[in-house]
Amino acid sequence: MHVTIEINGRQALPVRTIPLLTDWRGLSPDQLAQILAGDSDHWPSFDGLTAYRLHPDGSTEPISPRWWASWVVGKLEATSNTIKAKQTSRATGRQQWRGDSLAQLPAGVFVWLDEFEAAHASQYGPVGWLARSNPEGFDPSAHALDFNPQPDPDIAPPRLVLEGFMPNGDAGDVLEGFEQLRAPSTSRNFAQLCFVRALNSADKNDAHWLGLENLSSHEAAALLCGHDPLNEHGCDALCVALLERRLTDYNESHPARRSWREWHRAAKAIGAEYEQGFDEFFAEWEQASDTPSAGVPAQPQAKPKEATPAPVLAVSASNAPVDGITTAQVAAIFDGIQYTAENWPKRLSDMKWLEPARVALGAAGGATSLWCPATLARLIHGRQRGAEKQRTLEALNRKFKSSPVLEPWRTDWDEHYEMFSDATENY
């Protein structure tokens, strides 16, 4: 896993990679957070080191020491105390700490490589501060930087370590197995998909998987999480396990033989979590299959069969559509949350940020559009800021607990609620 990246023509280092550069022998997440919070008494050479946040448009913003002190240092201390209180041994506690603490460092945050290297050499180099203060006992080789580390994938999967960063240049150039696609390089979701799959060498067997008409729920989950089921070393096991569970449950109520493409449709229909770039991937794949052109060769092997659209009137025991709820139901259930019941139909038709929640497109004078309420609720919650964010979360939770129509999506919503219900806790 090569961990340096280029931002605006300058080499950078994601902060989550820093503990890995010396196999965790220096600058652990809590120490790094203290340094960036301005508490560098024990690491004088790092005094003034600044971290930056990378925005989706490519711009960068320095992060103040006060932010690190307020939001990260205390959080890491609390994580450490929790692990120590529950650990069965120092060894198990240490392993848990490595994974949990790394995830507490913010995604999409970096330091400039040249500034970090200069500070590191001044602190840990052969003629650095520690070598001068302990010339007999200090071994600088133990702190030599390895910019291509091989961390334990269960502790530091590439997807976690490099979260928030995109590959440089055209997204289609990153993933060799996608030559047949006219990659929408302007899409952040597609670029992220390419990045994740390239990191995990998940593109090598695309011809095989695209040609199969019957995949298991596990194979589909691995593929949709950006991994190759034939080589799951470094796989994000939690992502795959959660998605596999959702797909297995769906298949029990909707049994069928499904291709990779059809499993994607099922995952989208139930609002499951997967690499969102696959929405564009399959749209491009369909187009490339139907209208081959120069530089866009025909698809290998058999084209996966078309999935049968879910019937709009497929109804559960609670009288709720299996794959989504109608526009009228959205208006009635979510009245007063984000929009009034009167405004919801218009907003659903013209607000692009709501489109990911749509699982079936309606037709004029015909069937209504269908919406995944769990995805819709997550989108609404994500739009809020400050104290309103928590109030909206609680209001949405009351809807899912009280409305029988939302029962099929309650488990999906509960996962989101549990993740964010304590987000305002003070550390």
Those residues with Cβ within 8 angstroms of residue 382's Cβ, 6 or more apart along the chain or in another chain = none
Q: What does the pLDDT look like over 23-35, one tens digit per residue?
A: 887 788 999 999 9
Burial class (CB in 10 A: 0-12, 13-18, 19+), 125: middle
Confidence of residue 88 (pLDDT cuts 50, 70, 90): confident
Q: What does the pLDDT look like over 262-279, one tens digit per residue?
A: 999 899 888 888 888 888
* Block residue for tokens 């670029």: 191
pLDDT of residue 36: 94
Q: What does the pLDDT look like over 336-385, one tens digit per residue?
A: 898 888 888 888 887 778 888 888 877 655 567 888 898 899 888 888 87
C-beta neighbour count of 55 within 10 angstroms: 10
Q: What does the pLDDT look like over 304-316, one tens digit per residue?
A: 434 333 333 333 3
Nearest one of 145, 129, 126, 164 to 24, comparing CA atoms: 145
Q: Which of 103-117, 278-292, 312-326, 339-353 has the lowest mean pLDDT?
A: 312-326
Residue 292 has pLDDT above 50, yes or no: no
* Block residue for tokens 């060769």: 297
pTM confidence score: 0.44
Task: Return d(Cα 414, Cα 397) in angstroms, integer.
Answer: 8
Q: Are 217 and 229 in contact (CB under 8 A)?
A: no
Residue 159 has pLDDT above 90, yes or no: no
pLDDT of residue 310: 35
Bridge partner list, 12: 5, 112
Q: What does the pLDDT look like over 7-20, one tens digit per residue?
A: 888 889 999 999 99
Q: Which amino acid is at 186?
A: T
Name the average pLDDT for the chain.
Answer: 77
Nearest one of 307, 343, 16 to 160, comparing CA atoms: 16
Mean pLDDT of 25-49: 87
Q: Are 173 and 198 in contact (CB under 8 A)?
A: no
SS3 116: helix
Those residues with Cβ within 8 angstroms of residue 214's Cβ, 6 or more apart along the chain or in another chain = 257, 258, 259
* Block residue for tokens 């038709």: 349
Strands 52-54 and 325-326: unpaired
Mean pLDDT of 59-88: 89
Selected residue with higher pLDDT from 38 and 138: 38
Mean pLDDT of 315-335: 68
Q: Which of 313-322, 373-382, 405-414 has the lowest mean pLDDT?
A: 313-322
Task: Return d(Cα 190, Cα 213) in angstroms, integer.
Answer: 24
Q: Are 225 and 236 in contact (CB under 8 A)?
A: yes
pLDDT of residue 197: 73
pLDDT of residue 109: 93
Q: Which two tokens stand for residue 75?
A: 């959080």
Bridge partner list, 112: 12
SS3 315: strand
